[in-house]
Amino acid sequence: AESQNWVLMVTAQTPTNIAVIKYWGKRDETLILPVNDSISVTLDPTHLCTTTTVAVSPRFHQDRMWLNGKEISLSGGRFQNCLREIRARACDVEDTKKGIKIAKEDWGKLHVHIASFNNFPTAAGLASSAAGFACLAYALGKLMNVKEDESQLSAIARQGSGSACRSLFGGFVKWIMGKEDNGSDSLAVQLADEKHWDDLVIIIAVVSSRQKETSSTSGMRESVETSLLLQHRAKEIVPKRILKMEEAIRNRDFASFSQLTCADSNQFHAVCLDTSPPIFYMNDTSHRIISITEKWNRSEEAPQVAYTFDAGPNAVLIARNRKAATLLIQRLLYYFPPSSDDLDSYIIGDKSI
């Protein structure tokens, strides 16, 4: 480029995803390779999404990042791995209007500035880093004219945070654990797009907006080291469950979808309990929400709602349709009136991107 005053920018927005067959446990900590496949649903971008702007300019003298307006360190291995992998795939970029020309080999000398915002409280113990690293990989890929497709980008986002690889797609997504030691085949694929099953309504009951005590990263490490149930789950249970879940999604079979989702959430929390020392992510309110939904489902001809809990006490409830969602909210408001201290808030949204 002629002048040193140019700045080239790209902005991207990525929603978070909620696993219905859980990822819990790594076989490789550095590359972030899981011990089993997982399946998730990507939320619509109205709630729980990250917006990231990446910029490059010859005036930048180091890579820097701001999260919700506050500068954070990029020295962590996960950021460096993502940046290195994207840079290695950078191509020529030309913006004739601005008179900017960046040759492939120039990217190694240029620095990036990254500004990322979450539209939800970061400390809420919700949504973790999934949307963040997916958005970072996608935005950097666009900026550097990377030719890789979403699945190949997902394998890069995965090195930032495992669950992030599933946020590169909307709708229903499978993270294939892969067989290779170098992680090249551990990536996400879309099972069905956001229009395939758009009756579903997702309601998040925010039981506590405090940050969780045991991070997912250290929690799953302890589970891998100490839980025999995790070994059994990864080898014997999840492979069959993945096939059944794919079939349930294909057929929009809510009864099967709900049964598998609830069972897998409960087994994930059983693995946490089977860890030494045990990890408790759910609390009494979480347990009451399970009881209420189980009882309701059993009193109807067919299940109306599925529940799933991640590494925290918040309930993610998936209603079969709008009518079920309305009845669910009525029930939640009855059991947890706004005046009670049990729930902090509700987030109501659709599945889809």
Q: Which residues bind ligand 2P0 (CB under 6 A)?
A: 19, 22-24, 32, 38, 128-129, 161-163, 216-217, 310-311
Least distance from C-beta 163 to ligand 2P0, angstroms? 3
Question: Torsion angle, CA of 29/31/33/38, rounded to 10 degrees?
Answer: 110
- Of the pair 31, 144, the CB lying nearest ligand 2P0 is at 31
Least Cβ distance, residue 123 to ligand 2P0 (angstroms): 15
Residue nearest to ligand 2P0 (CB): 162
Nearer to ligand 2P0, 32 or 260 (CB): 32
Residue 132, CA distances (Å) to 15, 157, 320, 339 in order: 9, 9, 28, 34
Backbone angles phi, psi at 114, to 5 degrees: -125, 125
First to last CA, the chain: 37
In the complex with ligand 2P0, which residue's Cβ is closer, 129 or 267?
129
Min separation Cβ 223 and ligand 2P0, Å: 11
Q: Which 8-state DSSP code applies to residue 46?
A: T
Structure tokens at 69: 């307006």
Contact between residue 142 and residue 10 where contact means Cβ atoms under 8 Å apart:
yes
Looking at the Cβ atoms of 174 and 320, the one nearer to ligand 2P0 is 174
Measured from the CB atom, is 49 or 90 closer to ligand 2P0? 49
Note whether 65 and 113 are within 8 A (CB).
Answer: yes
Decide: helix, strand or coil at residue 68.
coil
Least CB distance to ligand 2P0 at residue 175 (A): 8
Indicate the residue among 39 and 143 with the shorter CB distance to ligand 2P0.
39
In degrees to the nearest 10, what's the CA dihedral of 216, 222, 223, 225?
140
Quick one: 36 or 52, whose CB is closer to ligand 2P0?
36
CB of 283 to ligand 2P0, least distance (A): 16
CB 199 within 8 Å of CB 304: no
CB 128 within 8 A of CB 311: yes
Task: Name the minimum Å distance from CB 312 to ligand 2P0.
Answer: 8
* Least CB distance to ligand 2P0 at residue 213 (A): 14
